[in-house]
A and B are shown apart, each in its own frame.
Chain A
Amino acid sequence: MESWRRNPWVFAVLALPGSFWLLVFFLVPLAIVWTLSFGEKTSIVDIAVTWTTQNYARALEPIYLEIIWKSVWISAFATALCLAIAYPIAFLISFLPPRLKTLLMLAVILPFWINMLIRTYALIAVFRRNGYVNFVLEWLWTIGNSVLGAVGLGSYQLLGSSFEPVPMLYNTFALMVGLVYVFLPFMVLPLYATIERLDKSYLEASLDLGASQFRTFFSVTLPLTMPGVVSGIILVFIPCLGSFLIPDLLGGTNAQMIGNVITRQFKEANDWPFGSALSFLLMYVTFLALALRSLFAGRGEREAV
């Protein structure tokens, strides 16, 4: 690697467009939102930046605090579910022969490339009142009823007089399933990256020395793959926390998350200062999570993942 001083012109030509774009079309917009978060609405369209902290104070009022708290626990729960599902899969993939390995890996990450909106929409079709799940349930109900009828219990209506569709959409359950459905591949990728690089002779040594599979997993495998676990948690937790599409389409009125509140402030309520404050709270949480990650994982690990 050479010093930029040796070829300042080449350096400048390569660096300028990217730096310009990053500065003007990314950092400046963020700075604007940050400034707006200290502003006040003076009329329907005007905002005066008065460096008030009132917007942040308002975000901590019980009604919003409740939504923030709900967003955090829903995201944390969805992240935990993702981890529980993704770890065995990543583990399996990294022990497969090469050809199967690429195939299964592709199968797991392919949905990640498909539009999030379309994936969410696909879930609606599965879960809605006359969706596929309820269709199967109704079919099972009919079979159950005819079996009961055949054994002479038909008149007791043990399964209810008619089929009642199970409400699966527009509640926290749908929201949770949606989050796991959409963000699962984000968890598999970093886990796979670390498990793949794990020196398997450590596992052999542990098993040879008499540790059980269970013990080997918790005392050797898991600690050694911790950087991947932490990366995965962050890659899932942050987008979950900021998601607005999934709660908007799958969650009901009481399954709202911060993302929905931010969107409402910018679109319908037209209260940009408050929306900005909320979105910067989200940014602070993100920075905190990233700082924690660099604390957990060493520099070398971070670059690899």
Chain B
Amino acid sequence: MSELLAGPALLPLLISLPLLGALGSVLLHQRWPVLIAVILNLVLAGLLLSATQQATLRYSLGGWVAPLGIALHADTLGAMMVGITALVGVFVSWYSLDYFVAGSTAERGFWPLWGLLLTALNTLFLSGDAFNLYVGLEILSLSAVALVTLASRLEAIQAALRYLLVSLMGSLCYLLGVALLYHAYATLDLAMLAQLSGDGMLERAALALMIAGLLLKTALFPLHFWLPQAHAGAPAPVSALLSALVLKATFYLILRLWFDTLAQAATQLGALLLGLLGCAAILWGSLQALRAPRLKLLVAYSTVAQIGYLFALFPLLSDPRVASAAFDSALYFILAHACAKGAMFLAAGNVMTAAGHDRIADLGGIGAISATTLFALAIAGVSLIGLPPTGGFIAKWLLLQSALQIGAWWLAGVVLIGSLLAAAYIFRVLALGFTIFESPPVAAVGATSTRTPNATIASGRQWSALALALAALALGFLATPVLGLFDAGELTG
């Protein structure tokens, strides 16, 4: 049993467990199978993190070695992704316990779909097979789209449909790239492809197709057009999952393909282009967040900007002088944004429940409604701006340091402007907490109604949001031990 939980056998378990939870949840119409799976998943993720410290894990499914069979694979980066997914997943599940009305259609749909989403996320982080990744992408996209439809409003359904079409387009581009690679090398195994593939025309075309497909799903500017409506229209815990985890999974695949599997076909010019698009995303997303009329829309546009930072790193990641620090920065952006954005969407959900809407102009006095929620918003916001002592600060610090070291002043400039803009849109939200009934809710609701909703936000919903925000804060203090778990050398070679 001990070797089952320490060695490569962990890999299939990490995918089976959430799937088993989802099946149990469909069969029994209960939420506990998925809840148990989510908690055990955190334990397994911890074991995986400690196991990958010794060696990279590899598991051939069915005993068939590649190229015939499918191999699962975990290095420290994959283990970190599984870990942050498990952590955010636990808090979002805690929040969801009180979010959905017990026995409602949305509640019965949420738990199985969340179990399947977790299955897909773990598959994408652990699979070492290009076609298996495609199947994982399909489950990821379909369950994400289905989760958005749980909001059941017309706008949410429309946004979900657009999300579905964009995701399908992305999947097909990715699949076409896989087909090209299989045609040339007769293998789908990523490790074998990394050894076989060169920098020919075919590899370039395959890489371009796969990256383009994944960029659509990761919503890099200007392919972000589907994101704001989908993320803002979904139920709050779903928005948190989509922004914190789903986008990171496709970004992780882009990192893998670009720097590992098809590293020889990747060019400096391509990295620079991605970097420029990232910079544009930072500026555009922040500006849109500044003028968003609704709170959840603001948070969604902030995600567009934060995704920009991940891609702004690409020119640095491709430069051997600073690659190692840049990878640390990329990892920290992923971790810090997962916690901070998850917390922010959960807190926004509380605000929306308390106020009955999320129009920023009419939200004065949210501090009186829930101090805990406001505190969560504040800490998460500080991390998103990148101020010390949060995880967001570490990520930006590492990014600025590497940019200045190789003289990429333009990049440093964009990051600083982005931080200023982020401060502006975050303070737009926080200022609401300190204005007391400047614009009281509509008179028809009644004079006392601003305080009565206080009781309607369950404490679990407030504490889970705060806990995630505190996790973003803790990442700032724990930078050295956390980065010590990650070996950037796996990708820099």
Partners in one complex: no
